[in-house]
């Protein structure tokens, strides 16, 4: 509401109304407008102070979204660490047990990349705690994955070695089942066929016709091939991994010393040379310098039933051919 001014006129003894000049009116408008603007600015400023500017609000929203994403990342890292732990368990408690090797020491697995504080540069950041925690998880995961991949390299190496070992250790019968008349005698105390005294039989006798093929029972190298006192014509194979086999009383040898042979390869023929009372193969398995029971070394070519039969025959106290 515009103010109205009057002035007393002594001549007419009345109050005359004063009309403002154009300039005065303009000044008044400017004054009122700036006053209104000032109030408006105060109100808006107060609102901004209270609610934040639009760009601040946008940043605030973005920040909380980032925080949420960080939490999701943290959970995913935990899941990845869980999967890794499962792999480590299987590595230590399955693969390494099968391959008969030591598990990786927890000392190596849990080792920290110690020394200086690697997260110092992150400490100044907003949400530093959360960021450092995730950075630590990522570093830990990276280190564990490296150790795990090295472990798998080692396991692959062990598997190859194991394959070779399985290929080399004696694991089949030296005479085919179809060629056997019967297994004359196994490993253990037996009556000597010639001297009739009790003595230890260190091998297994397979009775078969003269000329029946004799097979190498595992991969290896011919250690000796020729006449041996008592054993007659004899072949010895060096299999490595602590194993040797001996095939005695042959009628003929078909290999030479130093020759490489494969499992199942014919190396000679059954005979009755040396101290023998009839055509048969005397077969010995040596492990780490000791003559062991060959009955435990046919696992590659016998079914469970055949194996049972073999054990029974080997245990019989039938005639020894020596």
Is residue 284 a contact residue for Zn ion (CB under 5 A)?
no
Q: Which stretch binds Zn ion (CB under 5 A): 10-18, 26-34, 218-226, 280-288?
A: 280-288
- Give the nearest distance from C-beta 168 to Zn ion in angstroms: 24
Smaller CB distance to Zn ion: residue 193 or 213? 193
First to last CA, the chain: 138
Q: Measured from the CB atom, is 236 or 322 closer to Zn ion?
A: 322
For Zn ion, which stretch binds (CB under 5 A), given 106-114, 121-129, 205-213, 261-269? 205-213
| Part of the chain binding Zn ion (CB under 5 A), chosen from 24-32, 93-101, 195-203, 237-245 | 195-203
In terms of CB distance, is 144 or 173 closer to Zn ion?
A: 173
Least gap, CB of 257 to Zn ion (angstroms): 23
Of 205 and 236, nearer to Zn ion (C-beta) is 205
CA-CA-CA-CA torsion for 270, 272, 275, 276, nearest 10 degrees? 100
Task: Fill in the DSSP letter of residue 100.
Answer: T
- Which residues does residue 9 pair with via DSSP β-bridges, in sequence order? 14
Q: Which two tokens stand for residue 101?
A: 């090797």
Residue nearest to Zn ion (CB): 282
Least distance in angstroms from the C-beta of 320 to Zn ion = 6
- Contact with Zn ion (CB under 5 A) among 151, 174, 205, 314: 205
> What count of residues does the chain have?
322
- Asked if residue 263 lies in contact with residue 217, where contact means CB atoms within 8 angstroms, the answer is yes
User: In the complex, what is the shortest distance from the CB of residue 148 to Zn ion, in angstroms, rounded to a whole number?
Assistant: 51
Which string of DSSP letters, residue by residue, matches 34-79? HHHHHHHHHHHHHHHHHH--HHHHHHHHHHHHHHHHHHHHHHHHHH
- Segment lying near Zn ion (by CB under 5 A), choices 76-84, 109-117, 140-148, 275-283: 275-283
Residues binding Zn ion: what is the number (CB under 5 A)? Answer: 4
Residue (246 or 282) nearer to Zn ion, CB: 282
Instruction: With contacts defined by CB under 5 A, name the span among 40-48, 116-124, 281-289, 291-299 that binds Zn ion.
Output: 281-289
Nearer to Zn ion, 219 or 322 (CB): 322
| Nearer to Zn ion among residue 20 and residue 318 (C-beta) | 318
Residue 259 C-beta: closest distance to Zn ion, Å: 25
**Near Zn ion by CB under 5 A, which window of 20-28, 84-92, 167-175, 198-206?**
198-206
Query: Contact 206/184 with Cβ under 8 angstroms?
Result: yes
Q: Select from 282, 285, 294, 313 the one that contacts Zn ion (CB under 5 A).
A: 282
Half-sphere exposure of 197 (CA within 13 A, CB side): 2
Can you read off the two tokens belonging to residue 309? 């039969």
Judge whether 263 and 216 are in contact, CB under 8 Å.
yes
Please identify, using beta-carbon distances, which residue of 96 and 280 lies nearer to Zn ion. 280
Q: What is the DSSP letter of 256?
A: -
How big is the chain by its Cα radius of gyration, in Å? 49
Query: Can you say how many angstroms the Cα of residue 106 is from the centroid of all Cα atoms in its chain?
Result: 15
Could you count the other beta carbons within 10 Å of the beta carbon of residue 310?
Answer: 19
Both tokens assigned to 203 = 């091998």
Residue 242 CA from chain centroid, whole number: 28
Q: Which residues form the interface with Zn ion (CB under 5 A)? A: 203, 205, 282, 322
């Amino acid at each position: 509401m515009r103010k109205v001014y009057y002035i007393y006129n002594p001549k007419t003894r009345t109050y005359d109304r004063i009309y403002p000049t154009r300039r005065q009116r303009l000044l008044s408008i400017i004054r009122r407008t700036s006053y209104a603007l000032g109030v408006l600015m105060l109100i808006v400023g107060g609102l901004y102070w209270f609610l934040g500017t639009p760009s601040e609000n946008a940043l605030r929203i973005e920040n909380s979204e980032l925080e949420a994403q960080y939490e999701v990342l943290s959970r995913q890292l935990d899941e990845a660490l869980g999967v890794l732990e499962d792999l480590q368990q299987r590595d230590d408690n399955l693969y390494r047990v099968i391959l008969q090797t030591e598990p990786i020491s927890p000392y190596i697995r849990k080792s920290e990349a110690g020394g200086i504080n690697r997260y110092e540069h992150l400490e100044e950041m907003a949400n530093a705690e959360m960021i450092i925690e995730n950075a630590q998880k990522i570093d830990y995961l990276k280190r564990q994955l490296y150790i795990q991949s090295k472990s798998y390299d080692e396991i692959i190496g062990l598997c190859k070695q194991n394959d070779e070992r399985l290929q080399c250790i004696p694991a089949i019968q030296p005479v085919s089942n179809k060629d056997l008349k019967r297994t004359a005698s196994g490993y253990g105390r037996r009556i000597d066929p010639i001297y009739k005294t009790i003595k230890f039989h260190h091998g297994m006798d397979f009775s078969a016709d003269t000329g029946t093929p004799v097979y190498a029972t595992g991969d290896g190298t011919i250690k000796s091939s020729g006449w041996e006192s008592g054993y007659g014509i004899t072949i010895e194979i060096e299999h490595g991994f602590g194993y040797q086999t001996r095939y005695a009383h042959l009628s003929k040898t078909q290999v030479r010393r130093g020759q490489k042979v494969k499992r199942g390869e014919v190396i000679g023929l059954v005979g009755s040379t040396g101290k023998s009372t009839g055509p048969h193969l005397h077969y010995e398995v040596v492990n780490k310098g000791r003559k062991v029971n060959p009955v435990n070394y046919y696992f590659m070519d016998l079914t469970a039933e055949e194996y049972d039969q073999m054990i029974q025959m080997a245990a019989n106290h039938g005639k020894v051919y020596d």
